[in-house]
Structure 1
Amino acid sequence: MPELPEVETTKNGIAPHILNKTISAIEIRQPQLRWPIPAEVSEKLPHQIVRSVTRRGKYIGVHTDAGTLIIHLGMSGRLYFVAPNIPPLFHDHVDIHFGADEPILRYTDPRRFGAMMWQEGEWTGHPLLNHLGPEPLTDAFNVEYLHSKAKGRKQAIKQFIMDSKIVVGVGNIYANEALFMAGIRPTRAAGNISKARLAAFVEAIKEVLEAAIAQGGTTLKDFIGGDGKPGYFKQELKVYGRADQPCRVCDSVLIEIRQGQRSTVYCAKCQK
């Protein structure tokens, strides 16, 4: 599943090509994604000017005067540009047109776990977004905030930090990496971690996300950015996907366990 850096990369990839352009038409070939695409998308989006493109958590907002098209890439969704004469393939479900001679912004999604929704007014008021915690790369996500949320919590720190009500966008890959960088064992109860160690964790989360965004996201089997280029962060991963390999710091064999149906890889020597 694309995580925050991949979504940010996609947003950054498509924005320069659609900002201040008029949407001439939207072609929906398959309306049944994770949820049915609402009728307002095809009724209200055409003839609107794209005023801005933003991200909240793993959601991309394409903002117009009429409202916001909210896009979630799901497990395997992808946005990319094609020339007007390129016919759609089987999994190409939605085309956003910007004129006869302009490239088409095409949405493809083999598993159809993604979504396209519509919101008038403030887009963060949509039910999919109104419960989300702070963005991890903002000042609102700091040690004081995280310490207050973790106090008394018995939940494992990895599952705790992946809760979008606590903070958005820290998915499985980056939770693994940040915990390793901060020297925190993923199974440790969130409420049993000192404030000083949580401060290191906050900084590690910011560092690993910023590094991934700078390198264009993490290349996994499904992700390609909005500019058509894959991410290159995978080569930098220290623990995720490296079970039974030597730790890059101490050479101990990395351990893999399952937490909440997700793979967790850690070093028993470096992470306490």
Structure 2
Amino acid sequence: MASFVYNGGELEVSEDMKKAFNTDGYIVVKGLWREKELSVVEEALTGEDAITQYAYGNEDKDGKEARMCIWSYTGNDTTGTIARTRKMAYTAEQLIGGEVYHYHSKLMMKEAHSGGRFHWHQDYGYWYNFAFLFPDMITAFVALDKCDEENGCLQVIRGSHRCGRIGHGVMAGQVGADESRVKDIQTALDTVYVPLSPGDTLFFHANLLHCSAPNTSPRRRWALLSCYSRADNKPYDKVICSEYRPLEMTDNEAVLRQGVNCDLDGKEITMKVNNEYKVVRP
């Protein structure tokens, strides 16, 4: 697994990082978010007016549930500031090869003993149907808790982004990649676990196959994900998530400088009601 260490200041995206991303479909940046920053994030996500009030559950085929909340447009709260920092957005630009804008962000919540699995899928397996013509998209997955095999950390198939988009279908309420095709790919490419410590950040390509097992541990497993599309890959229609808006990046100290902010004005939040999705504006 290609991992790199953040030592503060501007994150220099080296040629080695770009090469690893292009070859493997992902890289890990260790320590991208510090403990005191994560404390601000934790308070912003668990306060009375937190965005988690809009969370909904997704059941896997075994009936276990992982909760999530998802929003378009950054807004100005703590979660939006995270997505706009240069160490997230500019790094995404350098890896995906061009100006990016914020497509959406989400909080993934696997609670202790109960957090369900996510089946093998590609993000572009979903996003293809949301009016994007190309897979020039990238996700920054920030571990808020320790992620390991016991509590359902991500697994990826290294290099699978080079296989192109794979057919997806509904699996017990989730959208998953064609299982027979995934098995064939696993005979040619390595399947690897991606353990992360709090603050570590995984950047991965929209066509990288990934999944995660249920959380059977006594520890929760929360992660905050910011998803970006290249600006020249604007959606041709607005389907649930955001249309193109230029991304106003901020410096890497912005979260600490701002502090806890739960003002959700400016976001569009996707909710699941009676198995149908609707968008609300707080």
For normalisation by structure 2, the TM-score amounts to 0.24
Rg bigger for which structure?
A: 1
Structure ranking higher on relative contact order (CA contacts 8 Å, 6+ apart): 2
- TM-score scaled by length of structure 1: 0.24
1 or 2, which has the higher strand percentage?
2
